[in-house]
Amino acid sequence: MGVLFNKRESEPQVSLPIHMGIIMDGNGRWAKRKGLPRTFGHKSGAKNFRSIVKYCSQIGIKHLTVYAFSTENWTRPNEEVIALMNLFEQYLIEALSDFQNENIKVKFLGEMEKFSSKIQNLIKEVEKSSQNLTGMVLNIAMNYGGKREIVNAVKILAEKVIKNDIQVSEITESSFSDCLYTAGQPDVDLVIRTGGECRTSNFLIWQAAYAEYIFTDILWPDFKFKDLDNILTLYAKRKRRFGGV
């Protein structure tokens, strides 16, 4: 558990997860319900993302990982993918100043090579400009897949064995975790998925092995501070046994 938060003296204090993950789902359906193109949903979702991230930082979340774009999302209609890439580019430019002011350290999880050279350069610039910040760590999973992350970690360890840097008998859960994109960060305590779907969708498979999961029907653009507060209150009431009694 993390620190306690209460925004007003009259509100009860709630124990926070140290590392929280969010699967931000429902942008397209949100737009469809309003008779708008799916791209409008992604724009609204991106705006809400910035708002929720800042709120998480302000209430004391230490690590936040958000699922922005999966390895499977490339199969979406080309028009939608192009719109998402434009949104990413706009966000990265804004992040260079936005999260600096919020003292948020930004890291990107996934295979960045598939993005345009402009987006890759912006990613490197955002990470470099925020690397010495001391506030919340924001992990943005882009072109990310949990299975690929695990395979990549296996390859890293295999290379070390081939080079005689380590012995097979020396491979542990800890050394494996050190080869993941989230190396050096604690495992996930809580995963929230908006949009009504009840599946993990290849998100943080290793890191969330003992995470609490909370699924909500609220579509991501409609997910507000009060909704997060309610979920955090529910999370605090759960008894985490990690396989014990």
The residues assigned a catalytic role are 25, 73
| DSSP-assigned beta bridge partners for residue 15 | 4
End-to-end Cα, the chain, rounded Å: 18
Q: Are 36 and 93 in contact (CB under 8 A)?
A: no
Measure the CA–CA gap between 200 and 218, rounded to whole angstroms: 16
Cα–Cα distance between 93 and 96 in angstroms, integer?
Answer: 6
Indicate the SS3 state at residue 107: strand
What backbone torsions phi and psi does residue 35 show, to the nearest 5 degrees?
75, 25
